[in-house]
């Protein structure tokens, strides 16, 4: 039996490293990562994966083999910060998607594109609320067009507020759950962006990976949402952690709600198995050390 060659862009990042790890556990897979290490880290490298350093805009020069599937996760992925990082957003998200789509078109392989649930935010108004949201929303349209124009097989997934091991815990690219955990460890107030009642559907990384592998194997088309149906406000989450809260000014692009669209993923047999409340309870019981 021929081994399956799988390329994960962003494979040294938070979600990508977990995906690489899961895929590499199957001995029938040859797993490769392409990452520019903008937010990825060599600390996230896992056994059984070959790592290639570089931008997705140079994929044609950097990848000399034909993958069976490309999991395209390697894009800029912060909402509020994207206003200050416009050049990086364009390079990683717009230049990158064109090069990756041309690569899969020429090589005749499937692309799984990690879209952004921000485009479903606030009744659809969220798609243009930030440079990040707009580039991701328009990229999903381009992926679908390549499917129609050039018969490129594709699946588009949407993550909802991923948390778990290997999150970025500090700095301007930190994610909320890791940031709160770090502040609790350090005895610092939990910083909440006003108004605080904006709701999120926090989804554990292992549930995300379950969905990604399933959609990669069996999914075709758009709207494969991977998100927990339970939603919590940011203030609700702060209360779960139990720390002192410090309110921060409102920020542009910060959506209030997002529709969770998981019907097509559920139809493949996916459902979330982990809860945010249990995760935070475990962190508290272990004094924030996991």
What is the per-residue pLDDT across 27-46, written as a single tens digit (0 to 9) for each?
Answer: 999 999 999 999 999 999 99
Residue 122 DSSP label:
G
Using CA atoms, how far apart are residues 15 and 115, in angstroms rounded to an integer? 13
- In this predicted structure, what is the pLDDT of residue 37? 98
Residue 7 has pLDDT above 70, yes or no: yes
pLDDT band at 288 (very low <50, low <70, confident <90, very high): low
Of 222, 102, 200, 97, which Cα lies nearest the Cα of 155? 222
- In this predicted structure, what is the pLDDT of residue 1? 58
Angular region, 72: left φ>0, alpha ψ -120 to 50, beta rest: beta
The rounded mean pLDDT for the chain is: 94
138-154 per-position pLDDT tens digit: 999 999 999 999 999 99
**Could you tell me which residue, 254 or 37, shows the higher pLDDT?**
37
Question: Peptide bond preceding 195: is omega within 30 degrees of 0, i.e. cis?
Answer: yes
190-247 per-position pLDDT tens digit: 999 999 999 999 999 999 999 999 999 999 999 999 999 999 999 999 999 998 999 9
241 alpha-carbon distance from chain centroid: 23
- In this predicted structure, what is the pLDDT of residue 256? 78
- In this predicted structure, what is the pLDDT of residue 289? 58
Using CA atoms, how far apart are residues 38 and 243, in angstroms rounded to an integer? 31
- In this predicted structure, what is the pLDDT of residue 118? 86
Q: In the chain, pLDDT over 70 holds for what percent of residues?
A: 99
Domains of the chain are: 4-285 (3.40.50.720)
Angle at 123 between CA 119 and CA 128, to 5 degrees: 40
List CB contacts of 169: < 8 A, sequence separation 6 or more: 175, 178, 179, 181, 182
Q: How far, CA to CA in Å, does 242 sit from each of 65, 174, 189, 247, 248?
A: 50, 20, 10, 15, 18
Window from 49-53, 54-58, 107-111, 281-285 with minimum mean pLDDT: 281-285
64-90 per-position pLDDT tens digit: 999 999 999 999 999 989 999 999 999
Residue 184 has pLDDT above 90, yes or no: yes
Bridge partner list, 247: 192
- Cβ atoms of 270 and 211 within 8 Å: the answer is yes
Section 173-191 average pLDDT = 93
Section 143-172 average pLDDT = 95
Bridge partner list, 8: 33, 71
117-131 per-position pLDDT tens digit: 888 877 777 788 899
- In this predicted structure, what is the pLDDT of residue 134? 96
């Amino acid at each position: 039996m021929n081994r399956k060659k799988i390329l994960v862009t962003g494979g040294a990042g938070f979600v990508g490293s977990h995906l690489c790890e899961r895929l590499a556990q199957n001995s029938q897979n040859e797993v490769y990562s392409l990452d520019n290490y903008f937010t990825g880290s060599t600390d996230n490298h896992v056994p059984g994966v070959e790592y290639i350093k570089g931008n997705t805009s140079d994929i044609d020069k950097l990848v000399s083999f034909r993958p069976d599937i490309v999991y395209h996760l390697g894009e800029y992925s912060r909402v509020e910060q994207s206003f200050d990082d416009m050049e990086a957003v364009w390079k990683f998200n717009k230049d990158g998607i064109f090069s990756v789509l041309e690569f899969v078109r020429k090589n005749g392989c499937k692309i799984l594109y990690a879209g952004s649930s921000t485009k479903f935010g606030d009744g659809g108004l969220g798609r243009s609320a930030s440079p990040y949201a707009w580039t991701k929303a328009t990229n999903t349209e381009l992926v679908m067009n390549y499917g129609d124009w050039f018969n490129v097989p594709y699946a588009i997934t949407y993550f909802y507020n991923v948390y778990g091991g290997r999150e970025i815990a500090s700095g301007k690219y930190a994610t909320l759950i890791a940031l709160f955990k770090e502040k609790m460890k350090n005895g610092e107030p939990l910083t909440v962006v006003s108004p605080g009642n904006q709701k999120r559907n926090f989804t554990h990384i292992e549930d995300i990976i379950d969905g990604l592998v399933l959609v990669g194997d069996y999914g075709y088309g758009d709207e494969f949402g991977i998100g927990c149906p339970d939603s919590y406000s940011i203030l609700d989450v702060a209360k779960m952690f139990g720390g002192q809260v410090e309110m921060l000014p409102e920020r542009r692009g910060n959506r209030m709600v997002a529709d969770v669209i998981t019907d097509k993923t559920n139809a493949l047999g996916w459902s979330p198995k982990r809860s945010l409340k249990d995760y935070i309870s475990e962190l508290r019981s272990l004094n924030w050390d996991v």
